Each structure stands twice: as C-alpha cells, then as structure tokens.
Structure 1
Amino acid sequence: MLLAAASSQLAGGEQAPPMTISPRCLAECGNLKIPYPFGTGPGCFLGGFEVICNHTFFPPRLFLVHSLDDHTYAQEVFTSGTYSTDDIEHTSNMSEWDTMRMEIMDISVSRAELRLYAAVSSDCGIRPPYHSFTHVTTRLHPEGPFLISAIRNVLIGVGLNVEVQLSTSMRGSYGGLITGCISQPNSTIAAKEGPCSGLGCCEAAFPEGLWQATVVADRKRTDWYTSENVICSFGMLVEKGWYNYSSEDVYGDEYCLSKKYPKGVPQVLSFAVGNLSCPRQGQRPPQGYACLSGNSSCVDASNRTGYVCKCLKHYDGNPYIRGAGGCQDIDECQLREHYSKLRKKYPCSIGGICKNKIGGYDCPCKPGMKGDGRTGTCTEKFPVPAKMAVEAL
C-alpha cells in the first residue's frame, strides 16, 4: 500500500496514469479509484467485476453489482425477528428479510482484495423472556470471483457473556456452524478496553473458501435481565485488527454500533480472475488471459480455481492493463530517499550511491571505496595506516 502511494507521488508531483482499460471508462467514484478489472459500463470490467457509482450520494459512493444474470452476486442479507427463551427449541419468528448492495471502501489490485462496509448482527433482550435479533449474511456467487478472506478477517462477538457463531445457513441454524466464540465475564467483571482478550468481547478465526457466511449473536442466554436497561450482544465478520473493545458498546442499545459506524464495519473479500490455472512456462496464454502488462506475472489462486496477476519485483501499477497504466519500473532510490520505511526494503548504506535502473537498482560504493553498498561493507581502498605512513614521510 505504501509503495503504490509513494510511487504515484514521486512522478514530479503528477497524477498517476488511470488504471482503467480505456480512457472512456470511469476512473473514480467520489474519492475512490476504480482499477480494472473492476469497472462500470460495457467493456470496462471483467465478468464478475462490475461496480456501480451511485451519484445520488454526495460524494458519490461505489457498490458491487449483485445480478445473477452476469454471474456477479455480492449482497448483504438481513434476517430479523424474535424468539422466547422459554421455548426449549428457541424457535425463531422471522419477521423481515431484506437485501442490500455491498458498498466498497477501497480496492487493491496488488493484494487482490477489496474492503467493504458490513453491517453488525445483534441480539437484544426486549422484556423477559423475549429477544429481538438481526442476523447479517455476506452472500457471494459461488462461481463468482470473490471469497470472504479468512486471512484478513476475524469473527468477533461483543457483549456480556456473548456467544457468537458463524454459520453457512442464512437462518443461522446450528447445523451450518463453522466456528464461534464466547466471552467470559459477567457484569461484575471489568473488561479492559482495547483489542479483544476474551473479556467483554471474543474472536475466532475461520477457514478459507467461504462464499456465504451468517453472523449470529447470542441466541440462548437467559442471564441478561439484571438491569433495567436493554442489554444486547453483537457479532461481526470484520477486518482483523480493526476493532477495539469499548465498554460503551456493551451497554448501548440495539443501534449503538450502527450509530458508531453508520456505514458499517470493514470486511475484506479476496478475488481471483478466470476459471483456469496460470499457463505453464512456454505455453501460449488462453483466450481472455487477464495479465496484460508485459511486466506482470501470473499466480494461481490458493483456495479456488482461477489466478491473480502481479507486477514483477521492482515494478508497480496495474498488471491487468497494458501501457502507461500497467506495471511500470519504480525508482527505488527516490522511494528510499523520501520514505524512511522503505530503506530497509531497498538497502543502500551511507558508503554507497543509489542508482536506479530498469527492473531494480544498484548501490556501488563511493569513489575511492570498495565493497558492497547494499550490505554496508564499503571501505576505503587506501587504508588509514597507509595514509599515515605516507604523511609521515
């Protein structure tokens, strides 16, 4: 992320070239860039990567399309209702069923992922013994390009004695249970604010390969009615490391997290293109091969059919398009000069001189010195003892 941002800022202050397949394609929506293979309008996106720029908002907002006709199916499904803890089977009364498009926070072609806003599931004690609930399902097309990233997301539950589950069932039934977690304290234990520690909130990892997952907050607790206030439990499938526990989240009403995060919480999807593996070395690429930049490579997707395109080492840009917007040589010397975080990535000691070249950089020692500037072994060719001996004559 830093490299891409830095590269675009060092080209003499100029804007980076558009990352679209054609100048006629929409390159931005509000404050978000739309890099190909994503796009709006005919000829501007790969199959499954269509997005919609909604101009009824200010600034405009970007959404994934959900249409079965073009095999793009990405939506959020909300299931709401009530149940009674007196019912031994805890049978749910589903009163509402609604779907929404998923709004995009940002897209990264280099990481083959996009971040979306996702809603939060809840379960609240209304009055003994009744509870109201909302289950939130992320639903993607099983043959589409997207999956819920298990590497970049985590299941989190927030509440007093909260039990949260991740299920493949849109009704949140236990038969489709994938994973879950339980927070330990009751109202008499003070949980520390900060990252989830099992106190006040809990978290759980889940397996790769999910195209549908429903988050279910606590369903069967009967020990909530210790306060005159409504006490809720919350569950979310959220970007790993993003959420910090706060006691106000536990003691808020059903809408406290919705007020705190009105658009939702960040959730990460990974993507791959095509339904074939990368062509073998020397093999002619198949028709529709997506890695169009001459400075790109193909990497097979690890958890599905298809592949992703990557810029070669020492190049940056969009591997899915040709020309100026594709993978271009980066100037490592300028990058390490302007961004100290990149000096470890591109080493060149004070005894060396950084010199950019196509596809990399060199770091020879300064004149009068020998060694390797990258490893920091530059030493003077004429050692100090010899200098002192000459000066003594």
Structure 2
Amino acid sequence: MAATAAVALLLLQQLWSAEAQVWDTGLPQGCPESDKCGNVNVSFPFGIRAGCSLRGFQLICDTTRNPPRLMIGNGTLQVLEISLANSTVRATDIAGAVNITNANDGGLGGNGTWGGVGDGDGSPYVVSESRNKLVVTGCNTMGILFGKNGNAIVGCSPFCSINDYWASSVTSISGDKCSGVGGCCQMPIPIGRPNYHVKLSDQVMSGQVPNAVRIAEMGWFEEHAAELLNKSLTDTSLKMPVPVVLEWAVASYPVILSGVPQYDNSSCPTNTSKSACKVLNSQCHNAAGNYRSGYVCRCQEGYEGNPYLLPNAGGCQDIDECKLSGTVCFGECINTPGSFFCQCPHGTSGNATIGDCRKSYTGLSVGIGVGSGAGLLVVALGAFFLTRKIKRRRARMLRLTFFRQNRGHLLQQLKSKENHVSWSIPASEGTSSIDESTRQYSLEEEYLLSSRYPR
C-alpha cells in the first residue's frame, strides 16, 4: 500500500513539474488571455482550447446548444460564473436531484451518486463547504452522503408530523421552510469532495412529499420550497436544475492518497519558479482543507487582474483608487503603487480622508519668523555702527578738549597776529616740505593738522 501511494505521489509531482514549465512562460503560446463560451468568460488557468489550460482546468464549450453551454466534469454541470478572486465556480446541475436507484429488496430507499466534477484524485474541484448544503426532502426518511471508502460524512432526516387520527401528514409549518419538520431537512457539508455516494433510507410515509437528495447552494431551497415540497409536481421538481458552488485549487491532491495520509500541507511551492502565481504583484495562498491540499493565487492588495498571468499579459495591475467612486478623499487624491495618498489642499493641513482640513498658518509664521530675524539683524548692525560712530565722536571731542586746554590758547593768539602759517610735513608723507602762505584754517582744522603733523 505504501509503495502504491509513493508511486502515485511521484506521478503527481511529475505532472506539477511539467505544469511549472508552462507557468514560467505565463500564458501558453498561441492561447488568448481570455476566452468566452456563451455568456461566460473563461480566463487562464481555465481554457476551452487544447493546451490552453492547466491540468484539470479544461472546460467544454457545447456549441450544439444556442446559446452555447460551458460544461464541467461529467457533463451535468453547466458553468454560470468563474471567479478568479474567490477561486470558485458557480454552476447548475441540470440533472436536478440525485438519481436514486431503488434497493433490490423492494424497499422504498435506494442508492445514488453525486459525482459532478471528477473521480477525486487530482481533481482541482471540490464542493464548497461554506456555500452549499445537503438538502433532503421526504417524510420520515434519511439521506446520507458517503466518501470514497464508505465513510459517512453527513446526513439528515426530514420528519412529517401526523394528526391524532392518523388521517394525514402535516407538512406546512411557519418560519424555517427546511428545519427538519415538514418534509425537509438541510445540513452543512463538513467535507468538500468532488463526488459523493448517496443513500436514501426506507420511508415510513411515502408519497406525501417528493423524495429527493440534493447538494444545493445555500438559500436556493427556500426560494423554491413551494414547488419542491408539492407532491403533485414530483416529476418536474426532481428535474429542476440545482445550483452549486465549487471551490478549486492548483496542484490539488487528496490529503489521504491511496489510503496513506499525506501530512505535508504546505501547499505553496517554496520555489517560486515552480509556482503558478506570478511573483510580481501576486501572492500564493494555501487552500488545504479537510479533504485535499492545494493552493490558489491572489493579486496583492491594491492590484487587480489575473494572478496566473504576467502583468504584460493581463496579470495583476495597479488599481487607480483615485478614479474609484468608493474612494473617500476630501482633498487631493494621489495614486501610488498598490495604494493612494489623500492630502489636504494647498494652504490647509489636517486629515483629508475625514474632511478635517483647516487653513494653515505655517507660511505666515515662517514669513514672520524670517522677517523678524532679518529685522533683528538690521537693528544689531545699526546699533554696532552707531555705537562705533558715537565712540569715534567722543574720542574726537575728547582730543579737541585736550587741545584747547594745552595748546589751543597759544595757537589762537598766534592766529590773531599772523595770517599765514607754515607747516613742515615729514618726507614720509610724500613731500619734503610744504609752505602754505595764503591758507587760513579754523581752530578745529589747526587741531586736526597738528594731531597729524606735530611741530
């Protein structure tokens, strides 16, 4: 058993290695970035053309129908929508309720199979555990889902009350239309698988409510309860298409492979070159669950596009939040890679994302500060030069006072007797002697000359 499991795991790894060679090049050569079948867009890793998808993601476009139908799995599931962001496929089971084959012992119960998306091993699809429910209709019976090895996964029993005289059943109740009473019960599906074995047990009261087992999208039954519980519409209600939501993952394989548990659930490849996620603006997320392991790719926050493609081929591109209607900014919106910045208008400050922008006095304060500094500088320089001038004037007046006290009186007497004064100027000043016979000086000029050229 262990050897078989090892061989199977090795084969899966080889397949993933082969896929990695395609992932390194982004979109396979000659394949479109996006295709279309009917009204459904088909983007990589899905494809409807040969060689234009990853392993397990090949879909079939049934062009014999008008409009064409996009089919998946065994041909009973019609794809309505593919979401790369949520890693889901929303489909409708056109076969309706699970086909129950009556038991050979003549009882009212029977067995069936819900196997819409492959045989399990290596299938990228499983029934979403959070978006679907098991819905069983009937009276006093039980519907059960089983796994591959016969292990019971989930089941429920719809109950029909009867009156005191055993005359008829009571199938109409107020409130919850599928609470377990009134011929219908529903339960969450704890283990999402690509297929299930189904068993419907013998019924105590047959024919009161259509007997059926369905795997249906949450909320669907409540919208159609009146038709699905009407015994006069049994034939048509059993064939009513049932919506179901599938989750998918890349490199998906069962947690228990060939009976041997696989404990390595680190699904994202450590070697990014072997990852389906293009490392630029995309991230790998673990998609391991109760049944399988695997991973999916997501664009980083602030980016949108196809994370399985390179940016130049339609991969993750920056979102310009400033152009989105839902972006709240009461100022100037500036787009940045993966985000945006909201700043207050010029001349204001505060928080523009909540509209708290107030008039800013920063520029005025700076101007006042600069002006005050310049004014103080001018005052300081003016005070310096004024002080120096006052000191010089005081020194001059002091010299004049000393002159008058010591020599001024004598010079004044000489001036009254002579009209000519002869000065002898040293040769160091540029001339040997100067005889000024006709120039008359004031007392102050006499002082100034005498201070420079003493006799």
Q: Shorter-chain TM-score: which interval?
A: 0.5 to 0.7
Task: Find the partner of 1:106 among 58, 69, 81.
Answer: 81
Task: Find the partner of 1:285 among 257, 263, 272.
Answer: 272
> Conserved in 1, the CA contact under 8 Å of 2:135 and 2:213?
yes
Give distance in 1, aligned partners of 2:98 and 2:248: 25
Q: Cα distance, 1:232 vs. partner? A: 1.8
Flag the structure with higher strand content: 1
Flag the structure with higher helix content: 2
> Conserved in 2, the CA contact under 8 Å of 1:120 and 1:136?
no
Task: Find the partner of 1:311 among 288, 292, 299.
Answer: 299
1:117 alignment partner in structure 2: 92
> Per-residue displacement from partner, 1:259-308 (whole Å, max 9, x unpaired)?
5x3xx21112211112673244xxx4244x21136211111222233311
RMSD after superposition: 3.2
Give distance in 1, aligned partners of 2:79 and 2:300: 27
2:359 alignment partner in structure 1: 381
Is the aligned partner of 1:32 residue 2:40? Answer: yes
Q: Secondary structure at the match of 1:27?
A: strand
1:255 alignment partner in structure 2: 235
Q: Secondary structure at the match of 1:33?
A: strand
Q: Cα distance, 1:325 vs. partner? A: 1.3
Query: For residues 160 and 369 of structure 1, do their structure 2 counterparts lie closer, same or farther at Cα, with a shift above 3 Å needed?
Result: farther
Give distance in 2, aligned partners of 1:196 and 1:20: 46
> Conserved in 1, the CA contact under 8 Å of 2:322 and 2:333?
yes
Give distance in 2, aligned partners of 1:57 and 1:122: 24
Q: Cα distance, 1:177 vs. partner? A: 2.0
Give distance in 2, aligned partners of 1:58 and 1:194: 39
> Per-residue displacement from partner, 1:335-369 (whole Å, max 9, x unpaired)?
3x1xxxxx4xx5x25x4443333211122234454
> Per-residue displacement from partner, 1:21-47 (whole Å, max 9, x unpaired)?
566447000111111111123330111
Give distance in 2, aligned partners of 1:361 and 1:61: 41
Query: For residues 364 and 141 of structure 1, do their structure 2 counterparts lie closer, same or farther at Cα, with a shift above 3 Å needed?
Result: same
More deviation in 203-212 or 309-318?
Answer: 203-212
Unpaired runs of at least 5, structure 1: 1-18, 65-73, 76-99, 338-342, 384-393
Give percent identity, aligned residues only.
Answer: 31
Q: Which amino acid aligns with 1:36?
A: F
Q: Secondary structure at the match of 1:333?
A: helix
Give distance in 2, aligned partners of 1:251 and 1:315: 49
Q: Cα distance, 1:328 vs. partner? A: 1.2
TM-score (norm 2): 0.59
> Conserved in 2, the CA contact under 8 Å of 1:165 and 1:181?
yes
> Conserved in 1, the CA contact under 8 Å of 2:138 and 2:206?
no
> Conserved in 1, the CA contact under 8 Å of 2:77 and 2:92?
yes
1:86 alignment partner in structure 2: none
> Per-residue displacement from partner, 1:297-338 (whole Å, max 9, x unpaired)?
111222233311111101111111122411111222333x1x
Query: For residues 197 and 20 of structure 1, do their structure 2 counterparts lie closer, same or farther at Cα, with a shift above 3 Å needed?
Result: farther
Query: Which protein has greater RCO, CA pairs closer than 8 Å, 6+ apart?
Result: 1
> Conserved in 1, the CA contact under 8 Å of 2:27 and 2:44?
yes
The 5 A counterparts of 1:144-159 are 144-159=123-138
2:64 alignment partner in structure 1: 56
Q: Which amino acid aligns with 2:234?
A: E
Q: Cα distance, 1:162 vs. partner? A: 5.0
The 5 A counterparts of 1:1-393 are 24-25=31-32, 27-64=35-72, 74-75=73-74, 100-118=75-93, 119-121=96-98, 131=108, 135-138=112-115, 139-168=118-147, 176-186=151-161, 187-192=169-174, 196-200=178-182, 201-217=184-200, 219-224=201-206, 231-244=209-222, 246-252=225-231, 253-258=233-238, 261=240, 264-274=241-251, 277-280=267-270, 284-287=271-274, 289-292=275-278, 294-303=280-289, 304-322=292-310, 323-335=312-324, 337=325, 343=326, 346=327, 348=328, 351-374=330-353, 376=354, 378-381=356-359
Query: For residues 57 and 134 of structure 1, do their structure 2 counterparts lie closer, same or farther at Cα, with a shift above 3 Å needed?
Result: farther
Q: Which amino acid aligns with 1:254?
A: T
Give distance in 2, aligned partners of 1:160 and 1:124: 18
> Conserved in 2, the CA contact under 8 Å of 1:293 and 1:327?
no
Larger CA Rg, structure 1 vs 2? 2
Q: Which amino acid aligns with 1:311?
A: C
Q: Cα distance, 1:256 vs. partner? A: 2.5
Q: Secondary structure at the match of 2:228?
A: helix
Unpaired runs of at least 5, structure 2: 1-25, 162-168, 253-265, 362-455
Give distance in 1, aligned partners of 2:295 and 2:180: 37
Give distance in 2, aligned partners of 1:312 and 1:377: 28
Q: Cα distance, 1:116 vs. partner? A: 2.1
1:91 alignment partner in structure 2: none
Give distance in 2, aligned partners of 1:191 and 1:353: 58
Q: Cα distance, 1:150 vs. partner? A: 0.9
> Conserved in 2, the CA contact under 8 Å of 1:122 and 1:133?
no
